[in-house]
Amino acid sequence: MAEIIPFRAFRYNPQKVDLARVLTQPYDKITPEMQARYYESSEQNLIRIILGRKQENDNPANNVYSRAAACFHDWRKQHIFQQDSLPSIYAYRQRFRVPDWAKTALAKAPATAELDRLGFIALGRIEDYSAGVVFRHEHTLAKPKAERLDLLRATRAHFGQIFMLYEDAGELVGLLETAEEPDVSVTDEYGVLHSLWQVSTPMVIAAIQSAMRSKKLIIADGHHRYETALSYRNERREAESPSIKPLERAPGDPYEFAMMTFINMNTPGLVILPTHRVVHSLQSFAEDNFRQAAQPYFDVDEIDPAIEASRAIAMLRECGRSGTAILAVTATRAFLLHHPNPGAAEAFAHMSLRQQDLDVVQLHKCLLEKVLQLSEESIRSQQNISYVRNAGEAIAQVRSGLANISFLMNPSHISQVRDVAFHGEVMPQKSTDFYPKLLSGLTIYALE
């Protein structure tokens, strides 16, 4: 069901640049501080294309997107980017350790063990969700999609990979294993070793294509990029041949595909971290009112207000063994919310039991929407909410007065992601944080 094809990737020329200084984390994980660091790292850092700086005199003819397109054009001309001569797929291995701050969040936290996951980069056909080939598991946010679409229109290229999950018992990975030295080997700022091998052997490519035809795919990371590619595909179809029906179209138009990394969801190296919620700028907020309003939905236990992040996450993990566990932290108090009460059921209109059992759904529907009275639209537009990986940072923001309340959570399990996605359902935005991220700039897919 899944169609993948090889491609001639553009890649950074190691004779021109130091790869460790030009590759970046995905655009949506780049903070302003990281953006500044990337800018200082190299004149050829990918940041200038995927997340350029705005300027005071920006206008329709000169803006972050036009400058990105100019960079891409110039760097190709200067051979900073070189295109591979043969259509290929790219075996992609990541070796890593879970960060210290995240270990307590995992049920089976590997204290010191090095983890490994091996997948491959190829082009995947863009499919409507209704086709039953590609499945999402999260809602998306409007602003990132608009920004990515403007960048794609300007550059006509994909610089980051969509992280796709497939499922098997490990047979496909066996086709990728090699004793050869990688073509690329680079360690990122989190200590993750990224290795890449170009695979151009037709028999190997054909075997991988054949193995993938029976697969259904789940978007792990890159929902915004996938839906951007889908919108762009539809734009190009309409502009070039609006009267042609989908089944009558030429199968090989470049915009019908996007660059994807495919990982087996059963690999031990698949790690999901929690994403905590920080709520700020509420017009009125009182801790006693929050506790009282939350009690119809959950049992609420008040705990040590000075609790440290590591202890908070360990408590969440232990409590979560028997069901829901959410920790709410304010400037001077902390509450453990657990065991949903009958009132919670009223918040789940038209939602399946699979969705209702998710901590992140209970948080959004009961606490964000009902207790704090945040609308779905305000959450989607991030008017009063931000998303934080590090529990210590989430706690620090409320204790410093920058936020009203932070909600700490356990991570979702891959089985929950799989079940929700394959039933055509979705979780709230930022429900999962797959670690580590796929580096942007390892391979680039130019549509023209």
- Per residue in 57-108, pLDDT (tens digit) is 989 889 999 999 999 999 999 999 999 999 999 999 999 998 776 665 565 5
Domain 275-410 class in CATH: alpha beta
pLDDT in tens, 242-297: 766 665 556 679 999 999 999 999 998 999 999 999 999 999 999 999 999 999 99
Does residue 248 or residue 228 have the better pLDDT?
Answer: 228
**How far, rounded to the nearest angstrom, does the alpha carbon of residue 302 sit from its chain's CA centroid?**
33
Kindly indicate the confidence band of residue 347, based on its pLDDT and cuts at 50, 70 and 90: confident
How many CB atoms are located within 10 Å of the residue 213 CB?
A: 10
CB within 8 A of 151, min separation 6: which ones?
Answer: 49, 50, 65, 68
Name the nearest CA neighbour of 253 among 123, 145, 135, 151. 123
**Residue with tokens 């040590």, as numbered in its chain:** 304
CB within 8 A of 126, min separation 6: which ones?
Answer: 134, 226, 229, 230, 233, 256, 257, 258
In this predicted structure, what is the pLDDT of residue 366? 94
Phi, psi of 58, rounded to the nearest 5 degrees: -60, 140
- pLDDT over threshold 80, residue 33: yes
Helix (DSSP H) and strand (DSSP E) numbers for the chain: 14, 21
Name the average pLDDT for the chain: 92
Q: What is the DSSP letter of 61?
A: T
Task: Break the chain into its structural domains and give their ranges.
Answer: 4-272+435-446, 275-410
**Peptide linkage before 6 cis (omega within 30 of 0):** no
In this predicted structure, what is the pLDDT of residue 260? 98
- pLDDT over threshold 70, residue 28: yes
Structure tokens at 116: 């490994």
User: By CB neighbour count within 10 A (0-12 exposed, 13-18 middle, 19+ buried), where does 301 fall?
Assistant: exposed
The crossing angle, in degrees rounded to 10, of helices 391-399 and 309-320 is 120
Residue 314: its H or E element = helix 309-320
Q: Classify residue 433 as left (phi > 0), alpha (psi -120 to 50) or beta.
A: beta
pLDDT in tens, 363-419: 999 999 999 999 988 888 889 999 998 999 999 999 999 999 999 999 999 999 999
In this predicted structure, what is the pLDDT of residue 248? 59
Q: Give one DSSP letter per residue of 425-438, joined into a string.
A: --BPTT--EEESPP
∠ Cα 164 166 172 (to 5°)? 115
Sign of dihedral through CA atoms 23, 27, 30, 35? Answer: positive
Q: How far, in Å, CA of 278 to CA of 177, rounded?
A: 42
In this predicted structure, what is the pLDDT of residue 302? 97
How many CB atoms are located within 10 Å of the residue 85 CB?
A: 8
CB within 8 A of 26, min separation 6: which ones?
Answer: 160, 221, 222, 437, 438, 440
Name the nearest CA neighbour of 390 among 197, 190, 200. 190
- pLDDT over threshold 60, residue 109: no
Q: List beta partners, residue 186.
A: 194
In this predicted structure, what is the pLDDT of residue 176? 92
∠ Cα 272 273 276 (to 5°)? 140
User: By CB neighbour count within 10 A (0-12 exposed, 13-18 middle, 19+ buried), where does 334 fall?
Assistant: buried
3-state secondary structure of 269: coil
3-state secondary structure of 24: strand
In this predicted structure, what is the pLDDT of residue 250? 60
How many CB atoms are located within 10 Å of the residue 415 CB?
A: 9
Sign of dihedral through CA atoms 26, 29, 30, 33? Answer: negative
Give whole-number Cα distances, 335 to 97, 239, 243, 410, 412, in Å: 31, 55, 59, 15, 21
- pLDDT over threshold 70, residue 111: no
pLDDT in tens, 172-191: 989 999 889 999 999 999 99
